[in-house]
Chains A and B, each alone.
Chain A
Amino acid sequence: MAISTAPPAAPPAGSASPGPASRRGRGGPRRRENIAGYVFLSPWLLGLMGITAVPMLLSLYLSFTNYDALSDFSAVEWIGLDNYREMFTADASFWHAVRVTVTFALVAVPLKLAAALGVALLLNRAFRGVGLFRGLFYLPSLLGGSVALAIVWVNMFNRDGAFNSLLGLFGIEGAPWVNDPRFALETLMALAIWQFGAPMVIFLAGLKQIPVELYEAASVDGAGPWRQFRAVTLPMLSPVIFFNLVLETINGFQGFTSAFVLSNGTGGPVDSTLMYTLNLYIKGFTELRMGYASALAWVFLVAIALITVVLFSTGRFWVHYADGEDR
């Protein structure tokens, strides 16, 4: 930070012609640009320190304490690894939240990507109104993360919600889906899948990049639509599939709003929607166990980082970069 408040450029040391003239000469711009760089970067640097780095270190420290948000900082007690020990050995809600979150991501993410890819394939032909379709399929991705839509969704799967009315038309008796621990998480998965528009748009952009010649060649060799999909579309699209997979997995693990709305902030019924971030919120802001919640946050961070690393390392085996091979 100090560098951004440094005095204006002085002539470089050892310059052959010191004096006011050289400031505007060709020797100065390098240094001037260096200073300008830090001037322009200073808000970001301040944010990096104050909003990101210092809080991260503070959170690491707090994770080894029993800080409770109410008492003074001087009352904070260092308790070593107790929070982590409790989390892994004594706190059933931690493992439960892990299970709920992993289940959610493992089911919702592949289904969402499959829906996105399926609709993208259907839309990947020019016909009248294709732009309108694309826009309307995308709309849930814009609205779906909001509290308002979570409220509507939860009510749709209520005992007397729209979903059961629909089932009633077919003579099927529904259940109070959102109040039933067996189905509550599934309704949240459905809400996530419903927002397939964002990955769909990315798939569409990827599909446009596949050269038509490849399909022509495949069809000359006698490949049918399914074979063409397996042998041309999937490998050519694999970098985009990978991009979407990483993005949606990371998003999936952070689901909070819909679980909060469904359970009114409790993770119920019977902890069936206790997503990891909701558990973190409950521990930190409802029970005010901020030390423990900080430990939860660090485990979460490490887990997300590990998952990303694992995804990237498996990507090497199935992601096909056409331009990398051509060179």
Chain B
Amino acid sequence: MSRRFWRVVVLVLILAVVLYPLLWMLGTSFKSREEIATNIGLWPEVFTPANFREGWQNFDVSFGRFFANSAMVALLTVVGNAISCLLAAYAFARLRFRLRKVWFAVMIGTLLLPGHVLIIPQYVLFKQLGWVGGDWPYLPLLVPQFLATEAFFVFLMVQFMRGIPYELDEAAKIDGASPYTVFAHVIVPLSRPALVTTAIFSFIWTWNDFFRQLVFLSDLQDYTVPVALTLFIDSTSESAVGPMFAMSLLSLVPVFLFFVAFQRLLVEGINTSGIKG
């Protein structure tokens, strides 16, 4: 047999191991309670949607509410990141202003700052402001996203904008355009690929994020999907496994759809942007 053949055989075997947990989750979600206990196979003999019906209404608040909360937080995060990071990136990439290099170094520094370090003082601060558990408990989650605190996206956009030819700015300036006009008419339209990447990744990361949502959300009706899912763990009785898996599976659907739609961009876009330098 050719080496290429064995290469593919090995890859298929590794892939089987990698995909097994996902397929197991898929299969288990559609098994009946009895089958979860008896059928150890990957696939259910009888497909039943019972787990989804049960899981959806498992708590006093329906999962529809949790999904709506998660979607709102994720979408507003996308908007916040896209706008605020674009503004900051334009300044860093295209404008000459005093202390630019210093601020840029500070921005790179915050890139490496672990989020866990800031969570306690942020909690204290936001609580003093009445934001934690306030009228609209999502302020602590969303306000930072409108202030370009996600340095990774600022960096990503700066790198991207450096690739836009400076002649375009110069031509616009000779025509009397201000930095604001250049931004609105040259940079923003040409930055669409970077904006799309930022939007997709801020959606996925926020959708999957757990730590901040766990810390800042305290009322059941305000919970996002990840926080709500942990409620299942409290009730670790055998009967909860099916509904828990069904809701876990549902929670991954949006990310999976993004994966299907933007596979190339996701795989090649962000991960390699860091080393192209």
Tell me which residues across on chain B come within 8 A of A202, comparing CB atoms: 271-272, 274-275
**Are A136 and B15 closer than 8 Å at their CB atoms?**
yes
Question: B88 within 8 Å of A by Cβ?
Answer: yes
Give the nearest-CB partner of B179 in chain A: A36
- Counting contact residues on chain B (CB < 8 A from A), the size range is 35 or more
Q: How far is the CA of A152 from the CA of B26 in the complex (A)?
A: 10
Asked whether any CB of chain A lies closer than 8 Å to the CB of B160, the reply is no
B259 sits at the interface (CB 8 A): yes
Nearest CB of A to B209, in Å: 8
> How distant is B162 from chain A, measured CB to nearest CB, in Å?
16
Residue A94 lies at the interface, judged by CB distance under 8 Å to chain B = no
Are the C-beta atoms of B118 and A55 separated by less than 8 Å? yes
| Contact among A62, A125, A156 with B7 in the assembled complex (CB-CB below 8 Å) | A125
Q: Is the CB of A285 within 8 A of B215?
A: yes
A68–B226 CA distance with the chains assembled, in angstroms: 27
A36–B178 Cα distance when bound, in Å, is 9
Q: Are B241 and A155 in contact (CB under 8 A)?
A: yes
A270 at the interface (CB under 8 A from B): no
Nearest residue (CB) in B for A156 is: B21
CB closest chain-B residue, reference A139: B259
Tell me whether B73 is interfacial, beta carbon within 8 Å.
Answer: no
Tell me, yes or no, whether B1 is within 8 Å of chain A by CB.
no
Query: Knowing A148-B249, A256-B210 touch, does A119 contact B272 (C-beta < 8 A)?
Result: no
Main secondary structure of the interface of A (DSSP, over half): helix
Give chain B interface residues in 14-52, CB to chain A under 8 Å: 14-15, 18-22, 24-25, 37, 40, 42
Closest A-chain residue to B233, C-beta based? A264
- Tell me which of B7, B103, B110, B245 contacts A122 (CB under 8 A): B7
Q: A69-B124, A142-B266 are in contact. List 9 more A-B contacts (CB 8 A).
A: A33-B95, A34-B96, A34-B97, A36-B91, A44-B107, A55-B125, A119-B11, A143-B208, A301-B114
- Between A and B, 11 residue pairs with Cβ closer than 8 Å are A37-B179, A45-B103, A137-B18, A147-B225, A147-B251, A151-B229, A160-B37, A194-B18, A206-B275, A260-B214, A301-B113
Report which B residues bind A (CB closer than 8 A): 4, 7-8, 10-11, 14-15, 18-22, 24-25, 37, 40, 42, 84, 87-88, 90-92, 95-98, 100, 103, 106-107, 110, 112-125, 127-128, 143-144, 146-149, 154, 173, 176, 178-180, 183, 204, 207-208, 210-211, 214-215, 225-227, 229-230, 232-234, 241, 244-245, 247-249, 251-252, 255-256, 258-259, 263-264, 266-268, 271-272, 274-275
